[in-house]
Amino acid sequence: MGSSLENRPPGWSYNPSRWNQRLPIVALALLGTAIAAYLSLYQLNLIEDVWEPFFADGSRRILESKISHILPIPDAVLGALGYLLDALTGVIGGRDRWRRMPWIVVIFGLAVGPLGLVSVILVILQPVLFDAFCTLCLLSAVISVVMIGPALDELLASLQHLKRIRRQGGSVWRTFWGIDPAAGQPTDLKQVEA
């Protein structure tokens, strides 16, 4: 129990679903949730001012801009929901979730990727359209981009697993939903657990 070799995908030197791999991402996602929630309070007029140490009225200008209100709800609210989804899908499942719950790993990967992409687009728009920067928006963007690489190794392990199952003639559908993960268990993993 607890060995770094336990539950390793075939051909891997580590297990991407181990807690020491996942908890840092979950912590970053929670930090992102907190920052975006704070910015949401300002955009929803629940607080009077927003913390901005470097760029004068940059944060206010950006958070009040048309782009940030292009959707029915302010963009920071969407960001907070995105980060919360990252944290939830990061924490659900055990150390073997790359093969027992590919569905949650795929949702995790899909949640982390686009959130980072949208953050970068917003960072590009800030100075070009409004000639302003927003410290907490930049920090939030850095967090969302930093999460991408560490999250995608698990997605790779799950996709390789599904491919292996298909090669062995198993049901990709049932494996994806974790209905009979043991059926598709690679032989070397059986030996490790025996």
Partner 1 sequence: MWFQVANTALGIWLMAAPAVLDYGAPAASVDRVLGPTVAAVALIAASEVTRGFRLLNVPIGVALLVVPGLLGYETPALANSIAIGAAIILLAIPRGRIKHQVGGGWRSLAE
Q: Does 128 bind partner 1 (CB under 8 A)?
A: yes
Site string for partner 1, 4-43 (x = CB under 8 A): -----xxxxxx-----------------------------
Q: Exactly one of 75, 153, 165, 184 binds partner 1 (CB under 8 A); which one?
A: 153
How near is the Cβ of 148 to partner 1 at its closest, in Å? 5
The DSSP element (H or E) to which 192 belongs, if any, is helix 187-193
170 is an interface residue for partner 1 by CB under 8 A = no
Task: Indicate whether 123 belongs to the interface with partner 1 (CB under 8 A).
Answer: yes
How far is the C-alpha of 159 from the C-alpha of 7, rounded, in Å? 16
| In the complex, least distance from residue 104 CB atom to partner 1, rounded to whole angstroms | 18
Residue from 150, 174, 178, 185 in contact with partner 1 (CB under 8 A): 150
Among 159, 170, 174, 185, binds partner 1 (CB under 8 A): 159
Distance, in Å, from the CA atom of 190 to the CA atom of 73, rounded to the nearest integer, reads 49
Q: Is 53 in the site for partner 1 (CB under 8 A)?
A: no
12/176 with CB nearer partner 1: 12
Compute the C-alpha angle 59/25/52, nearest 5°.
15
Q: By the 8 A CB rule, do 19 and 95 touch? A: yes
Q: Which is nearer to partner 1, 10 or 94 (CB)?
A: 10
CB count in 10 Å sphere of residue 182: 9
Ramachandran sector of residue 163 (left: φ over 0; alpha: ψ -120 to 50; beta: rest): alpha
Nearest of 121, 117, 99 to residue 176 by alpha carbon: 99
Does 118 interact with partner 1 (rule: CB under 8 A)? no
Q: Which one among 31, 106, 118, 146 touches partner 1, defined by CB under 8 A?
A: 146
Q: Does 145 bind partner 1 (CB under 8 A)?
A: yes
**CA-closest candidate to residue 60, choices 78, 77, 74, 48:** 48
Instruction: Report how far apart, in Å, the C-alpha atoms of 83 and of each of 94, 116, 165 are.
Output: 20, 10, 32
Q: In the complex, which residues of this chain contact partner 1 (CB under 8 A)? A: 9-14, 116, 120, 123-124, 127-128, 141-142, 145-146, 148-150, 152-153, 156-157, 159-160, 163
